[in-house]
Structure 1
């Protein structure tokens, strides 16, 4: 297994955990007050933000599976590359944002978003999957 395939597998595993985390927030097992920088004001906002988060994570997961040739979708390689670059930028910015979050819980997520950025960089740099 190549370094890139390992990176994709780790990313997919973490994505499953992140999506499960978002569902735990939706089902109110985890309070939403410790997420989104402590800025959500009500359940309605939480449902919107969490639903969008789940959708975004699913898009990243599908993109990684296409890149790693785990599934076959007829998407141009330039689209896959663009999506991965977009997520790299998002995770770098999110890492910075999490460092300034209101809750310590969310500050710790800067480690996770930094890990995402590093692993996505490994995936982007691998020319064999292009």
Structure 2
């Protein structure tokens, strides 16, 4: 269903949020892809939706898109993408994101530090976990 109202970022973000919180992330992605302009809020909602459904690769794809398009990253987006990587299969990518965060001074934010510690713990990388902070 094509909705003309997706031109309104507030309606689009509300619709995206509803789909993601209801577990209909694939429908949310359709809304996300149809938005004429994407901002940090839309990306954060999409990443959080993927995290909620344990779809780490997809969350990381949105994060990478934000970096390429130089969309403003904030502590919510950064925390969400770290949560998406809290799986042993993503530990190497998590370390890369950790380095990116150090370079960009994201680890002065407590929620980001907590997410990073949790990610390393869930990845069974306790030595890295102890190095955070």
TM-based fold match above 0.5:
no
Q: TM-score, normalised by structure 2?
A: 0.32
Structure ranking higher on relative contact order (CA contacts 8 Å, 6+ apart): 1
